[in-house]
Amino acid sequence: MPGLNAVAGLFALAGLTLFSLAGDEDETARVERATAIGDPAVGAELIDRAGCGSCHMIPGIDRAEVLVGPPLIHWSRRRYIAGLLRNTPSNMITWLMAPQEVVPGNAMPDLGLTEEQARDITAYLYTLE
């Protein structure tokens, strides 16, 4: 029954189109949310300069492929920071400014980031699907 196959094909095509449109909307919403926190482009630059990549695997950052700390993949979907703090923008800023206060003795050093720098870095990480 070629007629039915054609109809099924059309439905499949419509489904795929809807699926990819939904994907784009998700991405737009994610980037908008991230941009409300800070400047993701500045954040990426800071991540590069601060040497986060010497310990973390971070998508989109050159040479950030090291596994001393956890890989920072899918960061916008992660629930906890260091298995302890809920992953919210303000908790992320707290963590980035003072990881040694949050988890004394862990292997991530305090890097002397300002609140604004921590904010921009958080914005970049929140763009990561």
For ligand HEC, the binding residues (CB under 6 A) are 47, 50-52, 54-56, 68-70, 72, 81-83, 96, 103, 106-109, 111, 121
Q: How far is the CB of 52 from ligand HEC (least distance, A)?
A: 3
- In the numeric block, the tokens 């980037």 are attached to 31
- Measured from the CB atom, the residue of 42 and 82 that comes closer to ligand HEC is 82
Give 31 or 78: the residue with its C-beta nearer to ligand HEC.
Answer: 78
C-alpha to C-alpha distance for 61 and 64, rounded to whole angstroms? 6
Which of 37, 59, 41 minimizes the C-alpha distance to 119?
37
Instruction: Give the bridge partners for 57, in sequence order.
Output: 65
> In whole angstroms, how close is the CB of 5 to ligand HEC at the nearest point?
48
74 within 8 A of 126, measured Cβ to Cβ: no
Closest CB 28 distance from ligand HEC, rounded Å:
24
